[in-house]
């Protein structure tokens, strides 16, 4: 079992977006340890909408076996649903029970808030209005 986070994504744009999860390493998925990172893959979020509508989706890093000495990581790519244009990509890393943003290709539009102060972190990704 690793350090988990409750994650949400908000689209403040006037057009729909899609999110894609890529470059996943040392993360539970598909319900493993209750983690559902895959819910954010190929996800359509309507204009002015949030996913999930209320609450957050649980994701968890693997910190055992071959991942014991590795950091958990994944990328969240955000695209414009109408034309597929990439809005930006955020790279997340969990190391020693501390989620951080390793890189953000468009920080003016992709706003990320991470709170590691609780038993589980919270990660909020907001796509700013255009």
Q: Per residue in 13-50, pLDDT tens?
A: 999 999 999 999 999 999 888 899 999 999 999 999 99
User: What pLDDT score was predicted for residue 63?
Assistant: 83
pLDDT over 70, % of the chain: 99
Q: What is the mean pLDDT of the chain?
A: 95
Question: Domain limits of the chain?
Answer: 4-127
Q: Tell me how far apart the alpha carbons of residues 86 and 78 are, in angstroms, rounded to a whole number.
A: 6
Instruction: Say whether domain 4-127 belongs to CATH 2.60.270.
Output: yes
Please name the residue that has the structure tokens 């890393």: 93
- The torsion defined by the Cα of 61, 28, 37 and 109, in degrees rounded to 10, comes to 30
User: What pLDDT score was predicted for residue 1?
Assistant: 56
Q: Mean of the pLDDT values across residues 69-85?
A: 96
Between the CA of residue 100 and those of 37, 84, 93, 123, what are the distances in Å? 16, 27, 5, 9
Report the range of poorest mean pLDDT among 1-10, 54-63, 71-80, 96-105. Answer: 1-10
Confidence (pTM): 0.95
Q: Tell me how far apart the alpha carbons of residues 130 and 119 are, in angstroms, rounded to a whole number.
A: 35
């Amino acid at each position: 079992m690793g350090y988990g986070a409750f994650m949400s994504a908000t689209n403040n744009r006037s057009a729909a977006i899609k999110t894609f999860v890529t470059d996943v390493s040392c993360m539970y998925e598909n319900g493993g340890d209750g983690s559902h990172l895959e819910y954010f893959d190929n996800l359509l979020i309507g204009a002015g909408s949030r996913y999930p509508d209320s609450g957050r989706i649980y994701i968890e890093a693997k910190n055992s076996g071959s991942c014991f000495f590795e950091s958990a990581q994944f990328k969240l790519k955000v695209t414009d649903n109408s034309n597929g244009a990439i809005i930006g990509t955020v790279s997340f890393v969990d190391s020693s029970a501390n989620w951080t943003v390793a890189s953000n290709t468009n920080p003016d539009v992709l706003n990320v808030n991470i709170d590691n102060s609780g038993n589980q972190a919270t990660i909020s990704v907001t796509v700013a209005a255009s």
